[in-house]
Amino acid sequence: MAELYTTELSRRGFLLGSAAGTLALTNPLCWLQAAEEGRRPKVAVVFTECTHRSHAHVILENFLEPYLFNGHLTNSSVEVVSFYADQLPEDRDMIRKASKQYGIPLFKTIDEALCLGGDKLAVDGVLSIGEHGDYPSNELGQHMYPRKEFFDQIVAVMKRSNKFVPMFNDKHLSYRWDWAKEMVDTAGELGIPLMAGSSVPLAERQPPLELPAGLEIEEAISIHGGGVESYDFHALEVLQSMVEARQGGETGISRVEFLDHEALWKAADEGRWSRELARAALETTTNEPFEKLEDLEETRGKAHGILLEYRDGMRGLILRLSGGGTKWQFACRVKDDPEFKATSFYVGPWENRNLFKALSHAIQYHLTYGQAPYPVERTLLVSGILDAVMHARSEGGKPRDTPELEFAYPAKDYQAFREMGASWKILNEDIPQPAWFDPQGDKP
């Protein structure tokens, strides 16, 4: 059994952060009170449902039990003190068992969960997981998860209490661009440290690839094997995490275009995206060269693509190819460099359970010190791209101009949070298995 340790989180590092100087003028940094008092910050968890392999499951297990990070079993730096579940499917719900096992109350409303049954905010941070559950899709095919509704109710409690604490929002901010922007704007106006996004950009890269800041990237491709919208989001965040520190920094997106199966290959024939670059990305996960991508699709399913025109002239492509929903590859072309830069994002054993450990580690840091390891503007841009793409798709793939997405944001170095090292070298059966979930099928 590996020795347990608690990762040291640097308070000085937070105070030196770019956001801290501004927030200190308007906010008493109340989330640091727990550290000053020598206790773990108290966190309320708000989620749609907690069922086996749902996001609530694979995130929460790293808050309630020791988890693997950089090859070590690590204790959570925060204390979960309340739950709110929007849905409790009778035959699959896991949270009632977890509530009983850990003595964490399950409240009937978000307000009660944040106030621990009282009238004022009684926690130091909020973890909001609006993924999975029985929710409808709209006419565009967007899954209408209640992330904005959760956010509004959480903020209402903070405003009433005149206390604003760090918050994490799982995946994209909202399926609607105007709601996503409102969430970020509201957080900024009130001094709420907001973090959001995907687990995939924090996974280990195989082969290792670090793109130095300031590269002049001409074209980049991000490949996934999942569904429209849900996995397009992950691939978009992978792309942004790799290119946002390019020469001149991120300046935003001018146009998006959704390409169905036939339009995708036609665009390649016209030189609008590079098959060679896609092959370089795919070959990071196989020893077999891909001679013809179209043949791959004929045997494994339909492809689609998302073409992105960046304001600074860079071209981007999200490419959906069948062959595994939990595989992501990336490649880019740098000016005056004949060699493509390519890598894959390693999920590891136990499918998405391993993937969420680095993200959980980063969330805990954010909830403790109020500083996300990467900018929320990345997820805001991706949320806007995804909404525009779904509109373009509903209009038959017609290109869609996106002046609202032509905004800049600074990149941050979040390498320490995404590095998972050799965490999977500790066998799953060596990890204490909590009774609140069924581990069947989770062994490597």
List, as one string, the DSSP characters of 307-355: EEEETTS-EEEEEE-SS-TT-EEEEEEETT--SPEEEEEE--TTTHHHH
Q: State the Cα–Cα distance between residues 55 and 99, nearest whole angstrom.
A: 17
Give residue 376's pLDDT.
96
* 402 inside domain: no
Q: State the Cα–Cα distance between residues 92 and 52, nearest whole angstrom.
A: 7
Please give the radius of gyration of the chain, using alpha carbons only, rounded to the nearest integer.
21
89 and 136 co-located in one domain: yes
Instruction: State the total domains in the chain.
Output: 2
167 and 264 co-located in one domain: no
**CA distance readout (Å), 43 to 84, 109, 130:** 12, 15, 16
* Of 318, 157, 297, 292, the residue nearest 230 (C-alpha): 318
327 and 225 co-located in one domain: yes
178 and 88 co-located in one domain: yes
Which residue among 328, 346, 364 closes a domain? 346
Which residue among 301, 329, 346 closes a domain? 346
Neighbours of 149 (CB within 10 A): 15
Report the CATH number at residue 362: 3.40.50.720
* pLDDT tens per residue, range 229-274: 999 999 999 999 999 999 999 999 999 999 998 899 999 999 999 9
* pLDDT tens per residue, range 127-162: 999 999 999 999 999 999 999 999 999 999 999 999
One-letter amino acid at 175 equals Y
195 and 229 co-located in one domain: no
* 70 inside domain: yes
One-letter amino acid at 232 equals D
* 99 inside domain: yes
* 334 inside domain: yes
One-letter amino acid at 437 equals F
197 and 237 co-located in one domain: no
* 123 inside domain: yes
56 and 197 co-located in one domain: yes
**Which residue carries 């905004």 as its tokens?**
407
Helix axes 177-190, 376-394, angle to 10 degrees: 160
252 and 299 co-located in one domain: yes
pTM: 0.89
* Of 417, 415, 394, 392, the residue nearest 402 (C-alpha): 392
* 418 inside domain: yes
264 and 167 co-located in one domain: no
224 and 334 co-located in one domain: yes
* 272 inside domain: yes
14 and 44 co-located in one domain: yes
Given a cut of 50, the residues of the chain with pLDDT beneath it are 1-28, 299, 420-422, 424, 441-444
59 and 161 co-located in one domain: yes
* pLDDT tens per residue, range 108-134: 999 999 999 999 999 999 999 999 999
What is the span of the domain harbouring residue 270? 211-346
* 324 inside domain: yes
**Which residue carries 């991120």 as its tokens?**
250
Give residue 347's pLDDT.
78
